[in-house]
Amino acid sequence: MAKPRLPKKTLDSYTIKGTNKIIRAGDCVLMRASDPSKPPYVAKIEKIESNGRGSNVQVRVRWYYRPEESIGGRRQFHGAKEVFLSDHYDTQSADTIEGKCIVHTFKSYTKLDAVGNEDFFCRFEYKSSTGGFNPDRVAVYCKCEMPYNPDDLMVQCEGCNDWFHPPCINMTVEEAKRLEHFFCHICAADDEKKTQNSHSVSRHSELKMDGKRRRR
């Protein structure tokens, strides 16, 4: 006679096999890919369950997709550590978890002093069935009008506060690193016009003052 199945039990935590690292619901983890040549998958733990005996622990996960795993593929503005929070849920054996990781918000990621192997960032939610993104629009910068890639050096104009890629303004990365002040071509032109107008007004004022003195 077959043994009756024990009801699944929700666990508060789980210690990653072969480590002393503890995960809980809400944590992000790296999960071993079936193809050893591929990097581990990134997932968010939704629930941890056992079969009642504790010998078979499973995790309910929500997958993060890398840009190259999405329908549109990787684009120029995607960062090397960028992932998309998807609507794809799954149940996996806890044995496939390799370690913990951190998926930062885009803003907090850009403020990191150093990026480790366990650091990722997310600025989009991804609909795996349609290839759609939320938000479907983000701010763009530079003359090329591309979203910000935190892996690329950019310089900020002191006039308009827009950011520019060095190659887009005919500058090398080394030259950009040595800049103390930078004005884009539009702001530089506007500043030059203002300076010329200021000089013109100043000259007219001097002439008027001189004229008054002569009349006296």
> Pick from 138, 173, 191: which residue ends a domain?
138
Query: How many domains are there within the chain?
Result: 2
Cβ atoms 57, 93 nearer than 8 A: yes
Same domain, 107 and 38: yes
Same domain, 108 and 46: yes
Same domain, 17 and 77: yes
Q: What is the pLDDT of residues 45-88, one digit of tens each?
A: 999 999 766 568 999 999 999 999 999 899 999 999 999 999 99
Could you give the C-alpha distances from 98 to 55, 72, 189, in angstroms and in order? 18, 28, 55
Report residue 36's pLDDT band, with 50, 70 and 90 as the boundaries.
confident
Report residue 190's pLDDT band, with 50, 70 and 90 as the boundaries.
confident
Read off the CATH number of the domain in which 198 is found.
Answer: 3.30.40.10
Same domain, 99 and 184: no
Q: What is the pLDDT of residues 133-189, one digit of tens each?
A: 999 888 999 999 999 999 999 999 999 999 999 999 999 999 999 999 999 989 988
Same domain, 127 and 161: no
Same domain, 3 and 80: yes
Alpha helices in the chain (DSSP H): 106-110, 173-177, 185-215
Q: Residues 108-137, buried b or exposed e (16+ Cβ, 10 A)?
A: ebeeeeebeeeebbbbbebeeeeeebeeee
Give pTM, 2 decimals: 0.78
- Does a structural domain hold residue 90? yes
Read off the CATH number of the domain in which 115 is found.
Answer: 2.30.30.490
- Does a structural domain hold residue 131? yes
How far apart, in whole angstroms, are the C-alpha atoms of residue 52 and residue 50? 5
How far apart, in whole angstroms, are the C-alpha atoms of residue 103 and residue 20? 21
- Does a structural domain hold residue 25? yes
Looking at the DSSP assignment, which residues form a beta bridge with residue 91?
A: 60
* Res 189: pLDDT: 83
How far apart, in whole angstroms, are the C-alpha atoms of residue 158 and residue 164? 11
* Res 51: pLDDT: 78
Please determine, for residue 28, whether its predicted confidence score (pLDDT) is greater than 80: yes
How far apart, in whole angstroms, are the C-alpha atoms of residue 162 and residue 93? 47
Same domain, 128 and 176: no
Residue 16 belongs to domain spanning: 1-138
- Does a structural domain hold residue 17? yes
Same domain, 132 and 160: no
For the chain, where are the E strands, in sequence order?
Answer: 9-10, 14-15, 22-23, 28-31, 41-50, 57-65, 84-93, 97-105, 119-122, 125-127, 132-134, 155-156, 163-164
Same domain, 112 and 169: no
Q: What is the pLDDT of residues 98-127, one digit of tens each?
A: 999 999 999 999 999 999 999 999 999 999
> Pick from 115, 138, 161: which residue ends a domain?
138
What are the contacts of 173-181 at 24+ separation with CB within 8 A?
177/153, 179/155
Phi/psi of residue 198, nearest 5 degrees: -65, -45
- Does a structural domain hold residue 146? no
- Does a structural domain hold residue 145? no
Same domain, 128 and 164: no
The DSSP 8-state label assigned to residue 39 in this structure reads P
DSSP 3-state assignment of 151? coil
